[in-house]
Each structure stands twice: as C-alpha cells, then as structure tokens.
Amino acid sequence: MKLTDDQLRQFDELGYLMLPGVFSADEMDAVTADLPRIYGLEREEVWRESTGAVRTAFAAHRYSEPFDLIGRHPRLVEPVRQLLGGDVYIHQYKINAKAAFDGDVWQWHQDYGTWARDDGMPEPRAMNIALFLDDVTEFNGPLWIIPGSHREGVLEAGHDLKTTSYPLWTLDRETITRLAGAHGIFSAKGKAGSVLMFHSNIVHASSPNIGPWGRTIVYLSLCHVDNHIREFKRPEWIAHRDFTAIETAPDDCLLRLPRATVAAE
Amino acid sequence: MKLTDDQLRQFDELGYLMLPGVFSADEMDAVTADLPRIYGLEREEVWRESTGAVRTAFAAHRYSEPFDLIGRHPRLVEPVRQLLGGDVYIHQYKINAKAAFDGDVWQWHQDYGTWARDDGMPEPRAMNIALFLDDVTEFNGPLWIIPGSHREGVLEAGHDLKTTSYPLWTLDRETITRLAGAHGIFSAKGKAGSVLMFHSNIVHASSPNIGPWGRTIVYLSLCHVDNHIREFKRPEWIAHRDFTAIETAPDDCLLRLPRATVAAE
C-alpha cells in the first residue's frame, strides 16, 4: 500500500486520490455489522439530524472494536504517513451516515479551515482518508470536490450554525462559483471498500440524500504528530487531545475479528 | 419529429424517453434571453423558494412570446399527440428554475396523482414533455425517474404542505424504497436543447441544488382534449381551464423571433 509517483503527482495537482477496491466485501461486512449497534447508542458522540436519523458518530474507535481497527489499519494509515512525511495521530474520527431520505447537506467547506480556526492546528499537515462502507453513487449524496482548490490555501469562511445540526465554517457562493467555474467538480463515487484521500484544504460538500439508499463513509482525519492542535475549544471527542502516534494493526486484522462478536449484533 | 417503433416500445416499457439535441443552441438562446425579465416579474404565477429565488414560473406562454412559441412548438406537441392519440391542450405550463445554491427539492411524486386528486382529470391521458434550457448534469439537480413505475397506476400519496413552498401529493418512503429497489433510478441528464418525455404516472423527484450552476427546465403538461379536467380547485394559471386544442407554430418559429425583441431584454 505504497502510493506510486503518479499517484503522488495527482494528489499534489488535484488534491485528492480515489483508490478503488482497497478492502474486500468480507472486510467491509465485518465492519458494517457493528453499525446498527452504534447508531442505537445514546452517547454524546452520536450526532443526529433534526429528523433524529444519525448524521455522525464521532470517535467510534473508542466504543467499537472493528472501528478501532479501521482507525489503525495500515491500508489507511500508511498512505497518509507517506504523504505527510512521518508519524500521525487521529485528530478526528467520524462515521458519516447520510441516511436514506433524511441525510442532510454538508455545506461547501475546507476541513483545515475548521481545524485552524477552532483547534489552533498550526499547518495543513493533516488530511482525510475516507473509507466507503457502502457503494457511493450519484443517488446517495456523494462527496463533491473541487479539484485543485487546495492550492488556494485557507479561504475566508463564515461560521454556519443554522443550516444543519452541526456547526461548520462554510465558504461563500462567489468563491464556490469562481472555483467550480475554473476547475469543475469531481463527484467521488465508488464501490464499498474504496478509499478517498483528500488534502485538508480541498473545497468540498455533499448534497442532501433524497434517495432510498443510505451511504456510510468513515473519515479518518490524521495529523502529523508535530502539528498537533494547540487550542481546545471543541469537545475532546470531536478534536482529539491524545497526540500519540498511531501503531498500525496487522493487515488482516478485520478478517481476524471473532465471528461470534459480529454475529451477536 | 415522429417517434419510431423502438421509441414507442421504450416509452411503454420504461415510461420515459430522452431525446437529445432536439433544439439548437440558437433556438435555446432565443428562449433563455427572456428568462431574466420573467424572473423579475412580480406576478402571482412566479412562485419563489423560501429564499426568494424563483422556483417556478407558471403559464409563461401568456406573458412571454418565446415561451408562447415553446408551448406550441411542433417538436414538443407532435410526439405527445402521437402518444396520446389525438389533439391535446396545455393543462399546465411550468418553467422550473432550480437556482444555483437555492433550488429546493421536488419530493417523490406522480404528476397524475395531483391532476386526478386536485383537478378531477378522468384518465392518465396526459403527459409531460420537458425541454432543458441548460445543460442538466449530476451537479444541478437532475430529474430522477424510477423506470417502469408508471405501471403501478396511481399510488397512495399524502399532501405535503410543509417541505417546500409548493403543495404536492407525495409518495411514502416504503413505496420509493420498494420501487427503486426493483427498478433502480434513472437520472435525466442532457445538454441544453434536449427533451424528456415521461408518463404522467411515472414516479420522480429532484434533489436540492447545492451546486453553483442553476438549471432551468420547461415542462409542458399536455392533456388529450377529451380528457380535460372536471374540477377547478387550483388557480386557473396552475391547472388551465382553456381546453382548446393546440395549433402548432411553424418549426422554425424560434429563429424567426425578432432579434430586436430578444436584444432589448
């Protein structure tokens, strides 16, 4: 799981990289088997849409064994280490559910914009690596990315506290119109088990899901250990304060999960 | 502009037909030149989203010369005459704007469900023919259609008065999940100048538009003259009460529009 020179060049130029088929169906089954239990939890980390449907389960590595393994999986951690040049820790861990019919919009934003403003993260030496737990199609709210927008640095943003249940630093319409006019939009679609990496300054959004198919994506926001956050305004389960370097699990860890545990859910 | 046997078979089986490149760019320019004027009108026919952006301009053939010609254009009227087997009148005329960033959802529904319940239209001998005034892509709220759903007849529906500014008889989630599970979803994308015909019982919807590109589609809802509506609960500019058969305009009518008129907008 080492990125090739071509892949490094694409990431540098476009700010994202789509890697299909990184995990097998068996591996995905071992992980998704724990979702119904997680979505049923009454914990502050499990954030809901205004309709009650789960929007995001934060820090799921702390209360789910399969999701703990995802957070330490070498196929997710190693490419980020390679791109960021060294050890990384988990700054944020999200399961974003985008429920059928109910899944709400994620407004246009840059992740590092929030990490800098809210968490005092010094540099954009952090990034997302996202794992598709479901097939992501044009019909269930794929991520929309503006290619090359990471080169703009941190853009001006406003703190949107109203549009959805989750506060977000969002970009204005003129900026989106200008950037999408220049670069177009890439819709990150792919089969379950695919992986999407994107630069922390990439401009992205996702539509509400009006379709009958949910889609769940896990986002690991990994940060170089030297670049850890300096401010602690957000809850520690949203912006983590444990800066310990990730020790990766064995490559076949998901297949070694006891079947009994999975079946018992 | 006569539908082939293959096209008739496809319409019968799937309930829709996509016809690319029916109108030229010059013809579309002659029509869209009048949109800014129309969107600026303070008339009851011009319906707005909660944000103030135009959602629908009803009955635009009555206050716009190019849109009057669209409503009588042989390339739109003849295929419907062919499918419905005789003379047709305009039951409803809509310009649906789906503005960039602001364009709101159209919930899952069947048009004939509304025409039957609200307007007392006897039979589904009426249908939509839609003309794309902009390129419609996955990024600006294309129409989503469930192929073959017209064979279900009129499905049970509830009157949704809350979701958007426009009241609509909408289908429940179980029905959409069942139908989309069986038949999938077709996203009606195409270049400006393309035409989409669909059966009045086809189940369809469209997403909110979170992207920076608006898209305008004109919908002619044409009804066989014998099948005219019997009840008059809705305003006459939404459900028309003039059942006169359409007399088509010449095929090149849009190109004969005085340039001065267009340029003067």
| DSSP class per residue in A7-48 | HHHHHHHHSEEEETT-S-HHHHHHHHTTHHHHHH---TTEEE
Q: State chain B's mean pLDDT as an integer.
A: 95
Across the A/B interface, how many CB contacts are shorter than 8 Å? 57
Question: B186-245: per-residue pLDDT in tens?
Answer: 999 999 999 999 999 999 999 999 999 999 999 999 999 999 999 999 999 999 999 999
Backbone angles phi, psi at A210, to 5 degrees: -95, 0
- Structure confidence at residue A166 (pLDDT): 84
- Structure confidence at residue B1 (pLDDT): 76
Residues of chain A with pLDDT under 70: 259-265
Mean of the pLDDT values across residues B64-79?
A: 98
List of chain B residues whose C-beta atoms are within 8 Å of the C-beta of residue A105: 208, 210
Distance from CA of B46 to the nearest CA of A (A): 24
Mutant choice from B135, B139, B172, B175 vs A, greatest count of A C-beta within 10 A: B139
ipTM: 0.90
Residue A73 Rama label (left phi>0; alpha psi -120 to 50; beta): beta
Asked if residue B80 has pLDDT above 50, the reply is yes
Mutant choice from A171, A207, A209, A213 vs B, greatest count of B C-beta within 10 A: A207
Q: Distance between CA B231 and CA B254 in Å, rounded?
A: 34
Residue A115 Rama label (left phi>0; alpha psi -120 to 50; beta): alpha
Question: B140-159: per-residue pLDDT in tens?
Answer: 999 999 999 999 999 999 99
What is the domain partition of chain B in residue ranges?
5-264
- Give every CB contact of residue B56 below 8 A, 6+ residues apart in sequence: B46, B47, B94, B95, B96, B97, B166
| Chain B: residues touching A (Cβ < 8 Å) | 100-101, 105, 107-108, 138-139, 144, 173, 176-177, 180-181, 185, 187, 205-208, 210-213
Asked if residue B263 has pLDDT above 70, the reply is no
Question: B189-205: per-residue pLDDT in tens?
Answer: 999 999 999 999 999 99
- Structure confidence at residue B153 (pLDDT): 95
Q: Cβ of B211 and A185 within 8 Å?
A: yes
- Structure confidence at residue A50 (pLDDT): 83
> Which of 3.40.50.970, 3.40.50.11810, 3.30.930.10, 2.60.120.620 would CATH assign to domain B5-264?
2.60.120.620
- Structure confidence at residue A264 (pLDDT): 44
The closest of A169, A156, A80 to A125, measured between CA atoms, is A80
Strand, coil or helix: B229: coil
Q: Cβ of A139 and B185 within 8 Å?
A: yes
Amino acid identity for residue B226 in this structure:
D
Q: Cβ of B173 and A139 within 8 Å?
A: no
Asked if residue B52 has pLDDT above 90, the reply is no
Judge whether A95 and A63 are in contact, CB under 8 Å: no
Please name the residue ranges forming H helices in chain A: 5-14, 25-32, 35-40, 65-70, 74-84, 111-119, 173-183, 259-264
Amino acid identity for residue A39 in this structure:
Y
Amino acid identity for residue A75 in this structure:
R
Q: Distance between CA A145 and CA A89 in Å, rounded?
A: 25
Judge whether B29 and B254 are in contact, CB under 8 Å: no
Distance from CA of B206 to the nearest CA of A (A): 8
- Structure confidence at residue A263 (pLDDT): 46
Strand, coil or helix: A215: coil
Q: Distance between CA B100 and CA B210 in Å, rounded?
A: 7
- Structure confidence at residue B265 (pLDDT): 44
Label the pairing between strands A168-170 and A158-160.
antiparallel
Q: Distance between CA A189 and CA A36 in Å, rounded?
A: 24
CA angle A84, A113, B214 (to 5 degrees): 115
- Structure confidence at residue B49 (pLDDT): 84
Dihedral angle over CA of A252, A255, A260, A261, nearest 10? 70
Nearest chain B residue (CA) to A101: B173
Query: Which residue in the set A105, A177, A181 is minimally distant from B210, CB to CB?
Result: A105
- Structure confidence at residue A144 (pLDDT): 98
Nearest chain A residue (CA) to B175: A212
Distance from CA of A36 to the nearest CA of B (A): 19
- Structure confidence at residue B17 (pLDDT): 98
List of chain B residues whose C-beta atoms are within 8 Å of the C-beta of residue A138: 138, 187
Strand, coil or helix: B214: coil
Q: Give the predicted TM-score (pTM) of the model.
A: 0.92
Mutant choice from B136, B137, B138, B179 vs A, greatest count of A C-beta within 10 A: B138
The closest of B19, B15, B245 to B151, measured between CA atoms, is B15
Asked if residue B86 has pLDDT above 90, the reply is yes
Judge whether B133 and B28 are in contact, CB under 8 Å: yes
Q: Cβ of A207 and B210 within 8 Å?
A: yes
List of chain A residues whose C-beta atoms are within 8 Å of the C-beta of residue B177: 100, 212
User: B264 pLDDT band (50/70/90 cuts)?
Assistant: very low
